[in-house]
Amino acid sequence: MNRLKKQKELKKYCEILTNKVVGMTIPVNKPKDWTSFDVVKKMRNMTKFKKVGHAGTLDPFATGLLILGFGKHTKGLDNYKNAKKEYIVDISLGSSTDTMDRTGKVIKENSDIPEYSMIQIQSVIDSFKGEIKQIPPMYSAKKIKGKRLYKYARKGIEIKRKPIEINIYSIDILSYFGNILKLKVECSTGTYIRVLANDIGEKLGCYGHAKELLRSKIGEYSVDDSFQIEEFAEEWKSLEI
């Protein structure tokens, strides 16, 4: 994307009154190992907006689309929180972890993974399509009794969680090589892709966890149209209104 196009792209997301940006909704590509709050804090400091929020958190190990609202546009973030999401996930078969992703401690392992046929894998994946129930993971930001679950988990405390209803609209196999199963998942809000990866591994009988995770779409927004943080910083400094 050339410089002029970047400027036009940034402006189209801005609400401008009397030569001042009073609000904006910006799609950002969250870097790996950043928390969603890290991104909010960085963008708040950069733009000097007091009110900055996001439309749904991403795990630190994950990358991809994070929609940020600034100023007046924070009120509209709920529209995106409930929108359909699309993810690309690499499931590492052969082990499960306590966090259900690559950052956790291995708790189950299978060194002898069967040679699954695509028919076997497709059959298992199809069983997760539609309206299903998931149990939120202990390592998550979900609050129970006013406290986030991961705070209990870090102390080794297991809290009973009620299953939540979600909808998996589609799951497509993108590739299967070695012990890595790459999927594209379209789902409702509230879906934990880490839990899906773990449950697919359990149902295959070999265990599994999410090795890589990219959020590629939220509603009409795509990660392909999002700003890298460094890219946004450059354009924000030189924005001409």
Task: Determine the Cα–Cα distance for residues 150 and 64; give it in Å rounded to an integer.
Answer: 22
Indicate if 38 belongs to the active site.
no
Could you identify the residue written with the tokens 């995770």?
Answer: 213
State pLDDT tens for residues 56-83.
899 999 999 999 999 999 999 999 988 9
185, two tokens: 């998942």
Mean pLDDT rounded to a whole number for the chain: 92
CA distances from 170 to 122, 147, 237 (A): 12, 33, 41
Secondary structure string (H, E, C) spanning the chain: CCHHHHHHHHHHCEEEECCEEEEEEEEEEECCCCCHHHHHHHHHHHHCCCCEEECCCCCCCCEEEEEEEEEHHHHHCHHHHCCCEEEEEEEEECEEECCCECCCCEEEECCCCCCCCHHHHHHHHHCCCEEEEECCCCCCCCEECCEEHHHHHHCCCCCCCCCEEEEEEEEEEEEEECCEEEEEEEECCCCCHHHHHHHHHHHHCCCEEEEEEEEEEECCEEHHHCECHHHHHHHHHCCCC
Task: Determine the Cα–Cα distance for residues 179 and 90; give it in Å rounded to an integer.
Answer: 10
pLDDT band at 1 (very low <50, low <70, confident <90, very high): very low
State pLDDT tens for residues 117-154.
999 999 999 999 999 999 988 888 888 888 888 888 88
State pLDDT tens for residues 156-192.
888 888 999 999 999 999 999 989 999 999 999 999 9
Domains of the chain: 3-82+220-237 (3.30.2350.10), 85-218 (3.30.2350.10)
Q: Evaluate whether 157 touches 51 at the Cβ level (below 8 Å).
A: no
Q: Evaluate whether 67 touches 56 at the Cβ level (below 8 Å).
A: yes
* pLDDT value of residue 8: 65
Q: Evaluate whether 94 touches 112 at the Cβ level (below 8 Å).
A: no
Active-site residue among 38, 59, 78, 126? 59
20, burial (CB in 10 Å: exposed 0-12, middle 13-18, buried 19+)? exposed
- Nearest Cα to Cα of residue 206 among 127, 126, 91: 91
- Judge whether residue 3 has pLDDT over 80: no
